[in-house]
């Protein structure tokens, strides 16, 4: 192979003198060339270095540009050894970044194998898209939160202004009525005959009276409109609160999903809070604003009162105390029972009473 590729180098058709090498000269030249190559091969070769990506790229470009020169002699002289090819392959593998084990947002651990199977270019593209999407979502959420805060602030400002408006309108109306009484003492606006008589007797003053009365009417109309709007807003706020309370009740007690149980629950709780709680009647308007947790606590209190009333009405039968083996007995009672009675006399707590009752029943 080597000899055949080298033949054109030594057996040229003609040199400048018009002649070529003889057979002996060609053999001599070949022997010298082989001896030179054997010496070069015997020299110790340096360890193959892993090229950085910047160095590997030009090498690839030179290997691709070599065929364009069209010179077969250069190709033969630049042929790489197996060790150099292996070093170039290792460098090429190190140039390719390893697959990122960190999954982008939106990908679960179940997708890790699929993510690892993607090429680095596809991973980079998907990760960029995921980051752009997350950034867009965060931006929209921040904008929505900012708009909501602005709307809440504006609503609070308007509510404060409305709360200030009601007393202002009332004060203005009182001032105008006092002015009417002072300037026109003999005129009763509720009596049309009085107004007509005043207009006939004092035509020059009637326009002033009529303007003042219309002004009072305009303030009264504005006051009624403001009250109606306030009532409408309060009803809307209460409806929102009531809907959220129903959702919370169903979340805490799924049995209330039954319409019959829900109606019985509402009836019993309202009756207990208004009549049977033992501490006095609670205003129905206040009960309307009870939260779901407060209603459930009221039901628990009602059940406790009901159980205690039944216990007082039908106390448990007295069962003779049976002392356990090894337990001291005092007056037919165990040591634990006697200790509980003493503690109950001192504390008077419901917990001690219930524990003592359970101990007696278990006796």
Residue 347 lies in a domain: yes
Which pLDDT belongs to residue 299?
92
7 and 48 co-located in one domain:
yes
Which pLDDT belongs to residue 241?
93
Domain residues for 348?
318-363
Q: How many CA atoms lie within 13 A of 144 on its CB side?
A: 6
82 and 124 co-located in one domain:
no
Sign of CA dihedral 67, 72, 74, 76: positive
**Rounded to whole angstroms, how far apart are CA atoms 163 and 233?**
13
Which pLDDT belongs to residue 332?
55
136 and 226 co-located in one domain:
yes
Question: How many domains does the chain fold into?
Answer: 3
At 363, list the tokens: 């006796």
Residue 78 lies in a domain: yes
Residue 139 lies in a domain: yes
85 and 126 co-located in one domain:
no
Each residue's pLDDT, cut to its tens digit, for the chain (363 residues) gives: 333 444 444 344 444 444 455 556 655 666 677 677 777 777 666 655 555 444 444 444 444 444 444 444 444 445 667 667 766 765 665 554 444 467 877 788 888 888 888 888 888 888 888 888 888 888 888 888 888 888 888 778 777 877 788 888 889 989 999 988 898 888 888 888 888 988 898 899 899 989 999 999 999 999 899 889 889 998 999 999 999 999 999 999 999 999 999 999 999 999 999 888 888 888 988 999 999 999 999 999 999 988 888 888 877 666 555 555 545 444 556 788 888 788 877 776 777 777 878 778 776
148 and 226 co-located in one domain:
yes
Which of 241, 269, 287 finishes a domain?
A: 241
Which pLDDT belongs to residue 211?
93
61 and 134 co-located in one domain:
no
Residue 154 lies in a domain: yes
Which pLDDT belongs to residue 214?
92
Question: Residues 6 or more apart from 165 whose CB is under 8 A from it?
Answer: 226
Which pLDDT belongs to residue 311?
82
**Rounded to whole angstroms, how far apart are CA atoms 137 and 128?**
14
C-alpha to C-alpha distances, 56 to 76, 81, 95, 166, nearest whole angstrom: 21, 17, 8, 83
What pTM was computed for the model? 0.41
* Nearest in space to 80 (alpha carbons), one of 51, 121, 102: 51
67 and 125 co-located in one domain:
no
177 and 133 co-located in one domain:
yes
173 and 134 co-located in one domain:
yes
161 and 81 co-located in one domain:
no
Residue 304 lies in a domain: no
Which pLDDT belongs to residue 109?
82
Radius of gyration of the chain (CA): 52
81 and 135 co-located in one domain:
no
| Cβ–Cβ under 8 Å, residues 123 and 98 | no
Residue 175 lies in a domain: yes
- b (16+ CB within 10 A) / e for 210-221: eebbeebeebee
Residue 293 lies in a domain: no
62 and 128 co-located in one domain:
no
Which pLDDT belongs to residue 78?
55
* Nearest in space to 186 (alpha carbons), one of 163, 171, 170, 202: 202
Residue 292 lies in a domain: no
């Amino acid at each position: 192979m080597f000899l055949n590729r080298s033949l054109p180098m030594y057996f040229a058709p003609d040199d400048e003198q018009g002649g070529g090498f003889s057979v002996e000269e060609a053999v001599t030249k070949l022997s010298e060339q082989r001896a030179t190559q054997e010496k070069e091969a015997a020299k110790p070769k340096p360890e193959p270095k892993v090229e950085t990506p910047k160095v590997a790229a030009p090498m690839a470009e030179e290997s691709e540009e070599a065929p364009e020169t069209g010179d077969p002699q250069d190709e033969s002289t630049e042929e790489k050894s197996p060790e150099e090819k292996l070093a170039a392959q290792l460098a090429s593998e190190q140039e390719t970044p390893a697959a990122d084990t960190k999954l982008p947002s939106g990908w679960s651990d179940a997708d890790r194998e699929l993510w690892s199977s993607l090429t680095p270019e596809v991973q980079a593209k998907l990760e960029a898209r995921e980051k752009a999407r997350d950034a867009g979502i965060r931006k929209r959420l921040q904008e929505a939160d900012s708009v909501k805060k602005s709307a809440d602030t504006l609503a609070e400002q308007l509510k404060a202004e409305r709360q200030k408006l009601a007393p202002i309108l009332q004060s203005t109306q009182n001032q105008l009525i006092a002015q009417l009484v002072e300037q026109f003492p003999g005129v009763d606006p509720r009596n049309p005959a009085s107004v007509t008589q005043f207009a006939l007797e004092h035509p020059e003053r009637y326009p002033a009276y009529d303007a003042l009365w219309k002004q009072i009417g305009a303030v009264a109309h504005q006051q009624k409109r403001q009250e109606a709007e306030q009532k409408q807003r309060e009803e809307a706020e209460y409806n929102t609160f009531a809907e959220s309370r129903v959702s919370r009740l169903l979340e805490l007690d799924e049995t209330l999903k039954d319409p019959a149980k829900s109606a019985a629950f509402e009836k019993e709780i309202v009756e207990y809070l208004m009549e049977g709680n033992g501490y006095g009647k609670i205003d129905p308007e206040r009960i309307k604003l009870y939260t779901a947790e407060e209603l459930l606590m009221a039901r628990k209190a009602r059940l406790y009162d009901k159980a205690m009333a039944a216990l007082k009405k039908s106390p448990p039968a007295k069962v003779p105390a049976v002392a356990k083996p090894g337990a001291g007995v005092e007056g037919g009672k165990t040591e634990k029972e006697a200790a509980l009675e003493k503690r109950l006399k001192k504390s008077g707590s419901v917990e001690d009473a219930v524990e003592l009752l359970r101990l007696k029943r278990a006796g």
